[in-house]
Amino acid sequence: MKVAIIILSDPKSGGDDALGRMFNGLAAAYDFKQKGIEVGIYFQGAATRWPGVLASEQHPIHALYKGVEDKVVGISCGCADVFGAREEVEKAGFDLITDNSVPGTSGLPSIAQISADGYTVFTF
């Protein structure tokens, strides 16, 4: 079994829903990791803003984030550009993924390829 966790929630929404989705996405990744199941985390859409937010040791889910940070496959390049997160993503040292050449963007992860590679895809 292989699992891809795609995070879409926006930390700037300021709501419990966005934090809850991030928390549950990372908790699922942690669960798979602890069970020895191959897992990869992708940040897309407004969620490309999360790595900069979660880097703060004061954030309530910082410790969980650090526990699965090694499972972050990368960040959607096109989304990071659109949502103004590219600088923070680059500062954090994550790969910018450009596999899906969506017109008018610098590229996004290819969900079709992730699925074709045998990953079960979960979105949060």
- Write the DSSP assignment of 30-56 as a string of letters: HHHHHTT-EEEEEE-GGGGGHHHHHTS
Token pair, residue 105, equals 């963007």
CATH number for the domain harbouring residue 71: 3.40.1260
Question: pLDDT by residue (tens digit) across 15-25?
Answer: 899 999 999 99
Question: pLDDT by residue (tens digit) across 35-52?
Answer: 999 999 999 999 999 988
Rounded to the nearest integer, the mean pLDDT of the chain is: 95
Question: pLDDT by residue (tens digit) across 89-123?
Answer: 998 889 999 999 999 999 999 999 999 999 999 99
pTM of the model: 0.94
Number of domains into which the chain is organized: 1
At 15 the pLDDT is 84
Range of the domain at 24: 2-123
